Structure 1
Amino acid sequence: MTTKKDNLRTSIKEAIESQKRPTVTLLSSLLAIQDAIGYIPEEAIEEVALHSSTSINSVFGVASFYPNFRFTPPGEHSVEVCWGPTCHLKGSTEILEVVLTKLGLTSEGDTTDGKVSFRFNTCLGACSQAPVMSVDHELYGNADPELADKLLGELDQKDHQSTGQSS
């Protein structure tokens, strides 16, 4: 019988082995895993250590050094607000206030129900359309607090529809 943990380990091994570059490092392996499954579970640390013939402590040292690695599964939805200089100057603070309030957060993180993962992004690469936000990896330029409120409301509606609840 195949378990969820077996499937997770298989996905981790496939991510490590899928790297095409001649130089495979702890960092590249961790990045490949996070790209493949969305986070770095404990099993990933173990598999990278085995694959690279190093200690679990060494792998965890690399993983914990970089702030973009996450060690818990991400929310079903992702929301990012650009915090780069152009977006900041053009109003991302007001967007941020709406997003944090609507999600019930005080900073980056996951909502208590695990539905949304929120983070600041130093640059979403669309400075000419600042301020910019991203919802489920779709960019929205020239954003404002009203748009942020609308987009988060639509996420909430989608979740209620998928669970058969009314809002």
Structure 2
Amino acid sequence: MDVLTTAITNAVRSQEQPTKTVLSSLLAIQDKIGYIPKESMEVVSLEIPNTTVNDVWAVASFYPNFKFEEPAKCNIEICWGPTCHIAGAMEIFEEAFESLDITEEGRTQNGEIELGFNTCLGACAQAPVVAIDHHLIGRVTKSLLKNKIEGLK
């Protein structure tokens, strides 16, 4: 068994609740590894009785929060909710694109930073809002974001 398959198996088996399900197993894998590798489908199907690989894929693909590729080292989310939009989120997007040298949401060329849009980060009073690795930054300006991104490189 290779290192990744061992890590997946350990994540599934280390669940503490008495009843293990496909969903709880996928959550455990993503919590431990950071994403759900394709090898997870077979491991979960073997660990959960009466479950097929197709059953596991059906659950995994249903929930949008599951990630199927290794995450970037840093994730930046820019709020695009109505309040942030009115407060200047478009300028923040433009600065992010320029500072990261990308033209749309996604990963930088080296794959180290991922930029995404979020419909609401829940801090409207601080608009515009950016989250860097889930840490909220409010009242973001172009220069503040540029400095934060430079610090990540």
Deviation at 1:123, TM superposition (A): 2.9
Q: Could you report, residue by residue, the CA deviation over 1:58-109 in whole angstroms, capped at 9, with x for unpaired residues?
A: 2122222333322211111111112233222322222122212322333332
Looking at structure 2, the residues matched to 44 and 87 of structure 1 have their Cα atoms a distance apart, in angstroms, of 38
Match for residue 100 of structure 1 among 85, 97, 102: 97
Deviation at 1:143, TM superposition (A): 0.8
Looking at structure 2, the residues matched to 120 and 14 of structure 1 have their Cα atoms a distance apart, in angstroms, of 33
Aligned to 2:15: 19
Residues matched between the structures, number: 152
- In the alignment, is residue 111 of structure 1 matched against residue 108 of structure 2? yes
Looking at structure 1, the residues matched to 104 and 65 of structure 2 have their Cα atoms a distance apart, in angstroms, of 15
Q: Percent identity?
A: 51
- In the alignment, is residue 71 of structure 1 matched against residue 68 of structure 2? yes
- In the alignment, is residue 10 of structure 1 matched against residue 43 of structure 2? no
Answer with 93-102 or 12-21: which moved more. Answer: 12-21
Aligned to 1:40: 36
Runs of 5+ unmatched residues, structure 1: 157-167
**Pairing of 1:142-157 with structure 2 (within 5 A):** 142-156=139-153
Deviation at 1:112, TM superposition (A): 1.9
Q: Any idea what SS the aligned residue of 1:119 has?
A: strand
Amino acid at match of 2:72: G
Aligned to 1:80: 77
TM-score, structure 1 normalization? 0.77
Runs of 5+ unmatched residues, structure 2: none
Looking at structure 1, the residues matched to 120 and 16 of structure 2 have their Cα atoms a distance apart, in angstroms, of 27
Contact kept in structure 2, 1:74 and 1:110, CA below 8 Å: no
Amino acid at match of 1:122: T
Deviation at 1:149, TM superposition (A): 1.2
Aligned to 1:138: 135
